[in-house]
Structure 1
Amino acid sequence: MNGIVSTAWLAEQVGRDDLRLLDCRGSFAVYEEFHIPTAQFLHIETLRMTEAGIPCKMHRLDVLAAIFGQLGITRETPVVAYTFDPDDQLSACYTVWSLAVTGHPSVTVLNGGMKRWHDEDRPLTQQFPAIARAEYPASFVADYFADMPYVRDRIGDDGVVLVDSRTRPSYNGTEGPTIRRGHIPGAILHNYLWDFGPDGAYLPLDALRERYLRQGVTPDKEVITYCVTGREGSSVWFVLKYLLGYPRVRLYQASLTEWSAIFDLPMVLGNDPWGEAKAA
Structure 2
Amino acid sequence: MAVVLLMRRHALRTDKIISPLRAASQTRFESNLPRDRFLVTPRELDQALKRNAPSKLSTAPKTIPVCGTWFLPNDPEKRKGYEVYKKAHIRKARFFDLDKVSDTSSPYPHMLPSPEVFQEAMCELGINRDDTVVVYDSAELGIFSAPRVAWTFKILGHPAVHILNNFKLWVDEGYPVEEGEQREFNRTDYPTPSLDTSKVVAFEDIKTIAFDHNKEGSEPIQILDARPSGRFNGTDPEPRPGLPSGHMPGSISIPHSELLSPETKAMLPADQLRMVFEQKGVDPKHPIISSCGTGVTATVIDTALIQAGYGEGVRQVYDGSWTEWAQRVQPSDNLIVKSE
Pair in the same fold by TM > 0.5: yes
Aligned amino acid, residue 41 of structure 1: F
Is this contact kept in 2: 1:38–1:129, CA < 8 A?
no
1:164-175 equivalences under 5 Å are 164-174=225-235, 175=237
Post-superposition offset of 1:161? 0.4
Are the equivalent residues in 2 in contact too, given 1:229–1:254 (CA < 8 A)? yes
TM-score normalised to the size of structure 2? Answer: 0.73
Q: Which amino acid aligns with 2:45?
A: L
Structure with higher helix content:
1
Does structure 2 conserve the Cα–Cα contact (< 8 Å) formed by 1:40 and 1:129? Answer: no
Question: Which residue does the alignment assign to 2:294?
Answer: 229
Q: Identity over the aligned pairs, expressed in percent?
A: 23
Task: Give the equivalent residue in structure 2 for 1:11.
Answer: 46
2:172 is the alignment partner of 1:106: no
Residue 179 of structure 1 aligns to which amino acid in structure 2?
L
Determine the structure 1 residue equivalent to 2:134. 80
Q: 1:73: Cα distance to partner?
A: 2.8
- Corresponding residue SS for 1:251: strand
1:93 matched to which residue of 2?
147
Structure 2 CA distance, aligned partners of 1:50 and 1:245? 33
Distance change >3 Å, CA 183–CA 86, structure 1 → 2: farther
Give yes or no for contact 2:103–2:114 (8 Å, CA) kept in 1. no
Preserved contact between residue 224 and residue 291 of structure 2 (Cα < 8 Å): yes
Moved more, 51-60 or 22-31: 51-60
Q: Which moved more, 1:97-106 or 1:235-244?
A: 235-244
- Give the alignment's TM-score, normalised by structure 1: 0.88
Cα distance in 1, alignment partners of residues 179 and 140 from structure 2: 23
- Give the aligned partner of residue 90 of structure 2: 36
CA shift at 1:235, angstroms? 1.0
CA distance in 1, matches of 2:255, 2:118: 28
- Secondary structure of 2:128's aligned partner: coil
Number of equivalent positions: 270
Corresponding residue number in structure 1 for 2:8: none
Q: Does 1:256 align with 2:322?
A: yes
Conserved 8 A contact 2:99-2:109: no
Distance (whole Å) between structure 1 residues aligned to residue 106 and residue 44 of structure 2: 43
- Give secondary structure in 1 for the equivalent of 2:135: strand
Cα distance change on mapping 1:170 and 1:86 into 2, 3 Å: farther
Q: Which residue does the alignment assign to 2:200?
A: 145
Report what 1:191 is aligned to: 255
2:16 matched to which residue of 1? none
1:47–1:98 CA contact under 8 A, matched in 2: no
Q: 1:154 to 1:241 in 2, by over 3 A?
A: farther
The answer for unaligned runs of 5 or more in structure 1 is 272-280
Number of the residue aligned with 2:27: none
Sort the Cα spacing of 1:259 and 1:140 in 2 relative to 1 into closer, same or farther, 3 A. same
Displacement of 1:7: 0.6
User: Does residue 233 of structure 2 align to residue 180 of structure 1?
Assistant: no
Q: Is the 8 A contact 2:165 2:267 kept in 1?
A: yes
Unpaired stretches in structure 2, ≥5 consecutive residues: 1-34, 55-61, 71-80
- Flag the 1:29–1:180 CA change in 2: closer, same or farther, 3 A: closer
> Counterpart in 1 of 2:171?
118
CA displacement at 1:145 relative to structure 2: 0.4
Q: CA offset at residue 228 of structure 1? A: 1.3
Greater shift in the superposed pair: 132-141 or 224-233:
132-141
Counterpart residue number, 1:160: 221
CA contact (8 A) 1:74 1:137 kept: no
1:275 — aligned with what? none
Query: Deviation at 1:41?
Result: 1.4
Q: Is the Cα–Cα contact under 8 Å of residues 48 and 57 in structure 1 kept in the other structure?
A: yes
Are the structure 2 counterparts of residues 182 and 218 from structure 1 closer, same or farther at C-alpha, using a change threshold of 3 Å? Answer: same
- What amino acid sits opposite 2:172 in the alignment? D
The 3-state SS of whatever aligns with 2:89 is coil
Q: CA deviation at 1:69?
A: 3.1
Compute the RMSD of aligned alpha carbons: 2.2
